[in-house]
Chains A and B, each alone.
Chain A
Amino acid sequence: MNSTDRTVPVDNYLTAGEPGLAGWLCTHDHKRIGILYAIGITFFFFLGGIAATLIRLNLIVPAGALMSAETYNKAFTFHGVVMVWFFLIPSIPATLGNFLLPLMIGARDVAFPRLNLFSWYLYVGGGLFTIGALLLGGVDTGWTFYTPFSTMFSNTHVVLAVIGVFVVGFSSILTGLNFIVTVHTMRTVGMHWFRLPLFVWALYATSLVMVLATPVLAMTLSLIALERLFGVGIFDPALGGDPLLFQHFFWFYSHPAVYIMILPAMGVASELITCGVRRRIFGYRFMAWSMMAIAVIGFMVWGHHMFVAGQSMYAGIVFSILSFVVAVPSAIKVFNWVATLHKGTIDFHAPMLYALGFVGLFMLGGLTGLFLAATALDVNLTDTYFVVAHFHYIMVGGSVMAYLGGIHYWWPKITGRLYPEGPARFAAILMFFGFNLTFFPQYLLGYLGMPRRYHAYPEPFQWLNVLSSAGASILAASYLMPLCYLGWSLWRGAAAGPNPWRATGLEWTTTSPPPVHNFPLPPVVNEGPYQYCP
Chain B
Amino acid sequence: MMSTTLQASSIAPDIDTLFNTMLVVSSIVVAGVFGTMIVFCIRYRRGSPADRTERKSSSLGIELAWTLVPLVLFIGLFGWSIGLWQRLQTPPADSAVIYIVAKQWMWKAQHPNGQREINALHVPIGQPIQLVMTSEDVIHSFYVPAFRVKQDVLPGRYTQLWFTATRLGSFPLFCAEFCGTDHAVMRGDIDVMQPAAYAQWLRQHASETLATRGATLFRQLGCSGCHGSQSTVHAPDLAGLYGNTVALSDGSRVVADDRYLHDSIMLPALQVVAGYAPIMPSYQGRIGEEDVLALIAYLKSPAPEAAHEQH
Contacts and interface: CB of A to CB of B under 8 A. Distances in A.
A368 B30 CA distance: 11
A237 B155 contact: yes
A26 interface: no
Contacts of A460: 2, 4
Interface in A13-35: none
Interface in A429-472: 447-449, 451-458, 460
A426 interface: no
A285 interface: yes
Nearest to A148: B138
A279 B41 contact: no
Contacts of A368: 26
Contact of A328 (B74, B80, B86, B90): B74
A140 interface: yes
A374 B150 contact: no
A454 B66 contact: no
Contacts of B263: 240
Contacts, number: 253
B284 A320 contact: no
A309 B152 contact: yes
B33 A338 contact: yes
A328 B175 contact: no
Contacts of B29: 363, 367
Interface stretch (B15-23, B108-116, B208-216, B236-244): B15-23
B61 to A, nearest CB: 11
Determine the main DSSP class of A at the interface with B.
Answer: helix
Given A69-B181, A148-B155, A339-B62, A346 B18 contact: no
A345 B145 contact: no
A490 B36 CA distance: 38
Contact of B184 (A282, A448, A455): A455
A383 B44 contact: no
Contacts of A360: 33-34, 37
B75 interface: yes
A152 B156 CA distance: 14
Interface stretch (B52-60, B227-235, B299-307): B52-60
A375 interface: yes
A448 B4 contact: yes
Interface in B29-83: 29-30, 33-34, 36-37, 40-41, 44-46, 50-59, 62-63, 66-67, 70-71, 74-75, 77-78, 80-83
Given A243-B155, A313-B86, A343-B44, A285 B58 contact: yes
Contact of A149 (B22, B44, B180): B180
Interface stretch (A169-177, A329-337, A505-513): A329-337
A308 B174 CA distance: 14
Contact of B84 (A64, A244, A376): A376
A369 to B, nearest CB: 10
A356 interface: yes
A342 B52 CA distance: 8
A338 B52 contact: no
Contacts of A374: 18, 22, 77-78, 80-81
Contacts of B181: 69-70, 73, 140
Contacts of B2: 448, 460
B85 A334 contact: no
Nearest to B23: A371
B157 A310 contact: yes
Contacts of A347: 46
B284 A321 contact: no
Interface in A154-189: 154
B161 to A, nearest CB: 9
Contacts of A534: 52
Contacts of B71: 325, 328
Given A149-B179, A344-B52, 12 more contacts: A142-B178, A153-B104, A332-B67, A343-B55, A344-B40, A345-B44, A348-B45, A376-B18, A377-B22, A383-B177, A448-B5, A456-B185
Interface of B: 2, 4-5, 15, 18-19, 22, 26, 29-30, 33-34, 36-37, 40-41, 44-46, 50-59, 62-63, 66-67, 70-71, 74-75, 77-78, 80-86, 88-90, 104, 137-139, 141, 143, 145-146, 148-152, 154-157, 159, 172, 174-185, 187, 263, 267, 270, 284
19 contacts: A140-B181, A146-B177, A154-B180, A243-B155, A283-B62, A313-B90, A324-B75, A327-B74, A335-B66, A338-B36, A344-B44, A367-B29, A368-B26, A371-B22, A371-B26, A376-B83, A448-B4, A449-B172, A453-B184
